[in-house]
Structure 1
Amino acid sequence: MDTNAIKKFIAEKVPQGYSLSKIQDMLKEQNVNITFMELRLLASEIESDVWKATEAKTEAEQKKEEPAAAEVEDDASGSDGDSAEGAADADQAITGKTTVEVSPIARPGAVASGSVKFGSGVTAEWMLDQYGRLGLDKPTGKPTEQDIKEFQIELQKALG
């Protein structure tokens, strides 16, 4: 097996829920000797490529939805709704939606991990440890209280 075939094999097995040690055993059965660290690095590389592709698709979808959102805002401003309701809608339109991605490969010491993009535009990596403690790592700014609330709700949905 060449490197591309190994990457393809890993890319197929990780989403199916196989652990890296099980994948390493499967590769050994096919006479491919690979250390766990090499396997982990390949899996991280594949995961990074998947996230980049997902982000590109999301950005393309957002660009398509922006003109439709502008039309909806024009319609909403023309109607005579409650001012409090209009203010809440305007606040949501400005902040955006919090998106949570769960990594198929958990970070060391974590039960689950992934990345989050808050509605305010701040991004970070998150992890959940075995005691249920939630941590944010490498934030690009300070998320607001509303961001944190939305993150917790979206994370509960993502983890099922």
Structure 2
Amino acid sequence: MTIKSFDRTVAEAHGFRIETSASGEEMSIPVTAEAKAVQSNAEAAAAKDARSTGREIKPFGSAEGNCGSSFVSAKKYSGDWLGVSTGYSVYGTVIDRSWYVNGVGAITSNTIYFQGGSTPSTWSGTGGATVVGPGYAVVPFTAHVILSNGGVCYSNAPIDFFG
């Protein structure tokens, strides 16, 4: 998952300030003691993941980035029912999410929604829909969570194939 933009209103409401560097890059700066603690915890989690990168096998259907990782897995059942499991693990506190999986079959497609409010930094859910034909399930790039530091953390489009 990757932060591509910031929500200034969310950041300010949770003790962060969005600043722009000389190179034009936006960054979230903790201002309050609570925000500094959240930032410290997020940095520790990111550092721990960085130390383990390359030493473990990452399954197909997962995607990583600067704010965490996401995954999707798909399995086709009788009656053209597509079952999916999806989720994420991010560095920070999730305030809101817009999460969905597109099941794209050779004949028909469908979208499975997992909308909601705040969630823990690690979340997963299951769902399903009718999808005709073999194909793939993907969490689109536009699926995202909003972190308390204002970061809009996008999925990085994990994908899984089904028969």
Give TM-score, length-normalised by structure 2.
Answer: 0.26
Give TM-score, length-normalised by structure 1.
Answer: 0.27
User: Which one has a bigger Cα radius of gyration?
Assistant: 1
More strand by share: 2
